[in-house]
Amino acid sequence: MELFEIKAEIPVFAADETDNVLLELGVEGWSLLEDAIAKRAWIVGVFTSAEEADTRWEELRPMLPAEPLSEPERRALGDRDWKDSYKAHFKAWKFGRLHWVPIWEREAYALPAGEVAIWLDPGLAFGTGNHETTRLCIERLIALEGKSAKSMARVIDAGCGSGILALSAAKLGYGNVEAFDNDPEAVRVSEENAAMNGAAGAVKFFTGDLVSGLAGRQAEIVLANIQADVLMRFAKELIGAVAPGGALILSGILAHENEQVRAAFVAAAPGWTVEARTMGEWSDVLLVRPV
């Protein structure tokens, strides 16, 4: 399938606010690229036709916090071009004994003895771990390690993106991991990433939303890295998926939204313990259900 890229430079001072707009609005197909050394930034969209690229740009432009510095450039994008462009903003990182590394660095990456790597090719799905929202979830997941019998504990990753959270849970030794996304492309990429890590079958990936994906399921750890308004709208479903004594990890929440999200979940889950953290402009909420 041929893809088309549309790219426009934006003022670097507007990069963070532009990124927030894309995430808050759930605008699909767009990403933000920054060159910290040159102090330049671009908004980039990838779509299945030239007509769609132009239409989506006209829809997005009025939402941008600052006027672009130039008219956008559009070009046909081969598979190799897309994958090469993605390398510019996916960098290896680690927390604890886990490393998250782009697949194209596999041969050269030096992995310390006793530590574990997750090799990722994000493709068109969100979730490289480079974003604060993903890091907040993973740090919570690692902090919970050892507080339950991992081989027996169940994990649900609601809105799995490229599968990074679910695969992290599997690599940590959790023996019953399920993950879903309402985008079939995200599920396909997640399964590819599992196969690249020798973990095919270690996670059950499937297509579903926050109603169908959680129906009839409970887990000791439920992860949801989704924008704040969606989390609050489906608070009942998310809370209902947490087993007694289990934890609900919420992310995708801007720092200024945290109080509102906490209030919504405290009201929906009275008696649960609640805490929150902030990382840059982003935050998380951890809720633990009484036994």
pLDDT one-digit tens code per residue, 12-63: 888 888 887 777 666 667 888 776 666 788 888 888 888 988 998 998 899 8
pLDDT one-digit tens code per residue, 196-212: 888 889 999 999 999 99
Supply 147's token pair.
Answer: 């507080």
Indicate whether 151 and 85 sit together in one domain. no
Number of domains within the chain: 2
Q: Is residue 185 part of a domain?
A: yes
Q: Position 134: which residue type?
A: T
Model confidence band, residue 124 (pLDDT cutoffs 50, 70, 90): very low
Choose one of 58, 89, 120: the last residue of a domain: 89
**Residue positions forming the annotated binding site for S-adenosyl-L-methionine:** 134, 159, 181, 225
Contact 117, 109 (CB under 8 A): yes
Q: How many residues does the chain have?
A: 291
Indicate whether 25 and 145 sit together in one domain. no
Indicate whether 279 and 182 sit together in one domain. yes
**Residue positions forming the annotated binding site:** 134, 159, 181, 225
Supply 219's token pair.
Answer: 């887990």
**pTM of the full predicted structure?**
0.71
Separation of alpha carbons 217 and 195, rounded Å: 25
Helix (H, G, I), strand (E, B) or coil at 242: strand
Supply 195's token pair.
Answer: 């196969």
Separation of alpha carbons 108 and 130, rounded Å: 20
- Phi/psi at 223 (5° precision): -110, 135
Residue 39 sits in a domain of what CATH number? 3.30.70
Question: Residue 43 sits in which domain range?
Answer: 3-89
Q: Is residue 44 part of a domain?
A: yes
Supply 267's token pair.
Answer: 């009201």
CB atoms within 10 A of CB 266: 15
Indicate whether 213 and 283 sit together in one domain. yes
Indicate whether 79 and 137 sit together in one domain. no
